[in-house]
């Protein structure tokens, strides 16, 4: 099943273009499922009809659902949450305990489990995901690495220690401080589910991110960084959707100055994103309802199938250059504003740690280069090149 993740700065029109993509794909004969994983759902608002936590058919070959994030979180997290709640309440502040029980990015990632469930039905060819705004999406991408660090470095010995300590803790009335076997099992289930979702996100043959952007300076700057960070986490972007482009008649009169600025931003977008770009015009009225969204799909994609893979890319790749192995990470034009102080690279065993500004990523390297020293790390044409010694 093809998976299309739509993300962008809040307010750029992600939901409208997610639905337009869905209706366009259905017009090409695909069976499409639209998922909203944004906690501020508005699929129903844009469709002009109710959409909730249960799948509902909104047009021929198009089904939509707004994922109940709290319910999904409860399914994965309830046993762990109950133990943590009781543990934190020993400090006496219930409100603080509740606030600390959900980690950044976890809600969005758990909501994406719904993609697996859609695929398991076997009824759909395409899953269009209306993601949360960019900041939440990036927190979601960080969470699997954080959870993996915990599971690989602490989980086994904590479980063994708990078995030894639990009898003593029970005798002295301190059993709440030692997690039960059920809590450890819940951690394992959560880890497995998160890993399955991560594998879907990293599968560049089936999953593509699509960045929705408006031709405005602040939006373009944030989207450029988002493109770099998605690549850093191995999520391939196959298209940029430029929304609310002024029509030709706006080049005169009151909007003439806006039109001039917009042309500069459109040129900046063309230079910043080496992937196909599609334009959605600023319409006379908001596109609400199936008919308007279907017409928007034609405006954006023309006769092309929105579900196709518009460009095949590998955001992270290994190449050979003479005796050296080079790890290449696409950062796009965001790399042009990156200074040496923004970049930090180190290795430990088969892991490469890369920090670009405030984003850090652990990248597993193959056995052929594991343990080798880093010979150099340089930025060339928007690509971070890390060379390992021969």
Instruction: Give the residue extent of every domain in the chain.
Output: 1-312, 316-388
Domains 1-312 and 316-388 share a fold: no
CATH number given to 1-312: 3.40.50.300
Question: Are 230 and 150 in contact, with CB atoms under 8 Å apart?
Answer: no
> How far is it, in rounded angstroms, from Cα 180 to Cα 186?
10
Angle between helix 69-89 and helix 181-202 axes, rounded to 10 deg? 140
Question: Are 359 and 352 in contact, with CB atoms under 8 Å apart?
Answer: no
Question: Are 269 and 240 in contact, with CB atoms under 8 Å apart?
Answer: yes
- pLDDT score recorded for residue 172: 44
**Of 34, 44, 236, 17, residue with least CA distance to 126:** 34
Instruction: Please count the other Cβ atoms lying within 10 Å of the Cβ belonging to residue 294.
Output: 19
- pLDDT score recorded for residue 1: 95
Q: Which CATH number fits domain 316-388: 2.60.40.790, 2.30.30.90, 1.10.287.3610, 2.60.40.10?
A: 2.60.40.790
Model pTM score:
0.81
- pLDDT score recorded for residue 324: 87
**Of 201, 198, 202, residue with least CA distance to 190:** 198
- pLDDT score recorded for residue 84: 67
Query: Edge to edge, what strands does the sheet with 374-380 contain?
Result: 316-321, 324-330, 383-388, 374-380
pLDDT digits (tens), the chain, 390 positions = 999 999 999 999 999 999 999 999 999 999 999 999 887 889 999 999 999 989 999 999 999 999 887 676 666 667 666 766 666 666 555 555 555 555 666 777 777 888 989 999 999 999 999 998 887 777 777 777 777 776 666 566 555 555 555 554 454 444 445 567 777 777 788 788 888 888 888 899 999 999 999 999 999 989 988 888 888 788 999 999 999 999 988 888 888 999 999 999 999 999 888 899 999 999 999 999 999 999 999 999 999 999 999 998 888 888 888 888 898 888 877 666 667 778 888 888 877 888 887 777 878 777 778 888 899 888 887 888 999 988
- pLDDT score recorded for residue 92: 54
Counted residue by residue, the chain has a size of: 390
> How far is it, in rounded angstroms, from Cα 142 to Cα 150?
13
Locate 143 and state its tokens: 């969470």
- pLDDT score recorded for residue 320: 86
């Amino acid at each position: 099943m093809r998976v299309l993740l739509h993300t962008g700065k809040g307010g750029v029109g992600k939901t409208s273009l997610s639905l337009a993509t869905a209706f366009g794909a259905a017009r090409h004969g695909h069976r499409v499922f639209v998922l909203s994983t944004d906690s501020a759902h508005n699929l129903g608002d844009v469709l002009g009809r109710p959409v909730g936590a249960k799948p509902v058919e909104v047009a021929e070959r198009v089904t939509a659902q707004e994922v109940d994030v709290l319910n999904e979180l409860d399914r994965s997290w309830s046993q762990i949450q109950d133990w943590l709640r009781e543990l934190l309440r020993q400090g006496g502040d219930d409100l603080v305990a509740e606030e600390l029980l959900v980690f950044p990015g976890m809600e969005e990632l758990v909501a994406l489990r719904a993609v697996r469930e859609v695929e398991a039905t076997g009824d759909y060819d395409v899953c269009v995901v209306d993601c949360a705004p960019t900041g939440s999406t990036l927190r979601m991408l960080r969470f699997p690495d954080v959870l993996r660090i915990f599971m690989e470095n602490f989980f086994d010995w904590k479980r063994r220690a708990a078995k030894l300590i639990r009898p003593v803790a029970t005798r002295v009335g301190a059993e709440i401080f030692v997690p039960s076997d059920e809590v450890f099992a819940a951690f394992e289930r959560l880890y497995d589910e998160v890993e399955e979702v991560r594998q879907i996100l990293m599968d560049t043959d089936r999953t593509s991110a699509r960045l929705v952007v408006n031709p405005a300076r602040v939006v373009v700057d944030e989207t450029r960084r988002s493109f770099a960070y998605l690549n850093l986490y191995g999520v391939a972007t196959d298209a940029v959707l430029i929304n609310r482009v002024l029509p030709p008649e706006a080049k005169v009169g009151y909007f003439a100055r806006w039109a001039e600025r917009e042309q500069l931003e459109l040129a900046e977008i063309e230079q910043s994103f080496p992937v196909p770009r599609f334009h959605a015009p600023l319409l006379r009225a908001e596109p609400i309802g199936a008919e308007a969204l279907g017409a928007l799909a034609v405006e954006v994609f023309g006769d092309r199938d929105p579900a196709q893979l518009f460009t095949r890319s590998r955001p992270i790749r290994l190449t050979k250059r003479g005796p050296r192995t080079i790890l290449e990470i696409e950062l796009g034009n965001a790399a042009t504003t990156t200074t040496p102080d923004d970049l930090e690279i180190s290795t430990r065993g088969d892991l490469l740690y890369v920090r670009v500004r405030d984003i850090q990523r652990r990248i597993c390297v193959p056995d052929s280069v594991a343990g080798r020293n880093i010979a150099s790390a340089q930025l060339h044409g928007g690509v971070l090149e890390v060379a390992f010694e021969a």
